Amino acid sequence: MEMVRAVAVRMAFGGVEVVKGVDLELRASEVHAIVGENGAGKSTLAKLIAGVYRPTAGSLEIDGNPVVLESPRQAIERGIALIHQEPLTFPHLDVAENIFVGHQPISRGGIDWKAMRRRAREILELLGVKLDPQARVGGLSVADQQMVELAAALSHDAKVLLMDETTASLTPKEVAELFTIVRRLRAQGRAIAFVSHHLDEIFEIADRITVMRDGEKVAERLPSETSVEEIVRLMVGRDVAATTSVGRKEFVGSPILRVTNLSVAGKFEPLSFEVRPGEIVGIAGLVGAGRTDVCRALFGVGPRPSGQIEIGGEAVEIRSPRDAMKHGVAMVPEDRQHEGLLLPLSIAENATLPLARKGWRKPQRERALAKEFADRLRTAYRSVDQPVRQLSGGNQQKIVLGKWLMTSPKILILDEPTRGVDVGAKDEVHRLIQNLVADGMAILMVSSDLPELLALSDRVLVMRAGRLVDTFTASEATPERVMFAATGVA
């Protein structure tokens, strides 16, 4: 049964159309996946249905009746809820308060706290989630915060759930737990739109797949009647080659980076390794193994490490990112929105931020440089004066990469360089990495995408519980060997 229908909807920002005449049906007891490259219009389409934006043309229908949604509140009153990639929760409130924010049960002129917590517990049990209604949300994991958002949607009795990149920041275990809940919601008769870049997830959970490209709907498929390869071709409009190794050669030159007994108390134990020019050294491990902490220590972020760092054969002190930049080190952080970008600022301002000197700016030079690097990285944007928060995740990642490449680093640290980007953007980032090492740059890369890490790395360091437990050459590294080292379990 059709619950929501978008009819030839269009959306334009500043005269540029990002959704172009799209038809979409969301049916009861069905998971409808929406896929496409970054900037294809997937999230904008979801926000049109959720009342965040009002379409510039076309119409929406709920249960066969035309509607005009002026706000997310109107959408939720009609039973449509949007679950965001980054949970929009209130960290200083507890779970029950977040679930019922704005519509708390009232008794005798005040909030009925007992009733609210009882009802919150009932909704969490319906989802199969074990959370204390009185736990402060700021202390919860991203996965648990998303469960709170889902519970908030159900507190309004939402029949249509729009899940926008909900799995982007989750571990495989958390994704499996979320999918158990999605299947339960589907069995209850709810309609679910599932926006994701992860095609393996799509084929696991979806009943139908809509493919978007450049703002248009280019195909609709049943998972049983298509393949990952066809969906990728439809998304990007071309074949995307599998990531290949960058040479697999022996490196005999002197290391550009040598780390000896580097450690940070409470984060990771003393470790030693080297990286040579033109080499990619990958760091594998489970979440919490200490991989990101190593990267941050090398870039001068956080507690000062003990041990020794040598760059170009000379011992150096790196106490801050400015010190790191002075010695030719750049880092693309894992969390691009909070650590890589200043979202309200323009593309030009973000891209040239590392080049700023003593607060003096040269706007004309900034704009020219930003345009040069944005075009070089095939970034989709309207103008370099556009706020970077308006870009898709993949295009934001390209701005972060371009920002640091402008500093002409000798050593580039990449922490989850393709997290949250689509298959086409991932292909472009891989090609860029290969070109950089071909030009002699040294790269230290953390990735939770094991196929990516094994395909790109010339050597793989494996961390477990804050310790460096093994090192493999490219020819030695297999998924089984790396995972055994990372988990300690055969």
- Domain tally, the chain: 2
Query: Where are any strands of DSSP class E within 37-159?
Result: 57-62, 65-67, 80-83, 106-107, 110-111
C-beta separation of 83 from 153 below 8 A: yes
Asked if residue 277 and residue 201 are part of one domain, the reply reads: no
CA atoms within 13 A on the CB side of 291: 26
C-beta separation of 286 from 486 below 8 A: yes
Q: pLDDT (tens digit, 9 = 90+) per residue, 218-272?
A: 999 999 999 988 888 888 776 555 554 444 455 557 899 999 999 998 889 999 9
Residue at 246 is within a domain = no
Asked if residue 329 and residue 457 are part of one domain, the reply reads: yes
Asked if residue 190 and residue 297 are part of one domain, the reply reads: no
| CATH number of residue 399's parent domain | 3.40.50.300
Asked if residue 361 and residue 453 are part of one domain, the reply reads: yes
C-beta separation of 66 from 98 below 8 A: no
Number of Cβ within 10 Å of residue 276's Cβ equals 18
**197: pLDDT strictly greater than 90:** no
Q: pLDDT (tens digit, 9 = 90+) per residue, 341-380?
A: 888 888 888 888 887 654 556 778 888 888 888 887 778 8
Using alpha carbons, list the distances in angstroms from residue 279 to 275, 408, 474.
Answer: 6, 16, 11
Asked if residue 37 and residue 121 are part of one domain, the reply reads: yes
Q: Considering 204, 236, 268, which residue would you say is the last residue of a domain?
A: 236
Asked if residue 311 and residue 169 are part of one domain, the reply reads: no
pTM > 0.75: no
Distance CA 367, CA 19 (A): 27
Query: Where are any strands of DSSP class E within 358-422?
Result: 411-415
Residue 432, domain extent = 257-487
CA geometry: angle 198, 200, 202, nearest 5 deg? 70
The pLDDT value recorded for residue 240 is: 54
DSSP 285-321: --TTSSHHHHHHHHTT-SSPPEEEEEETTEEE---SH
Q: pLDDT (tens digit, 9 = 90+) per residue, 418-448?
A: 876 767 777 888 888 998 999 999 999 998 8
Residue at 251 is within a domain = no
Q: pLDDT (tens digit, 9 = 90+) per residue, 201-228?
A: 899 999 999 999 888 999 999 999 999 8
Asked if residue 278 and residue 228 are part of one domain, the reply reads: no
DSSP strand pairing (411-415 vs 329-332): parallel
Q: Considering 236, 270, 290, which residue would you say is the last residue of a domain?
A: 236
Asked if residue 272 and residue 183 are part of one domain, the reply reads: no
Asked if residue 66 and residue 7 are part of one domain, the reply reads: yes
Q: pLDDT (tens digit, 9 = 90+) per residue, 311-351?
A: 999 999 999 999 999 999 999 988 777 788 888 888 888 88
Asked if residue 462 and residue 407 are part of one domain, the reply reads: yes
Asked if residue 323 and residue 210 are part of one domain, the reply reads: no
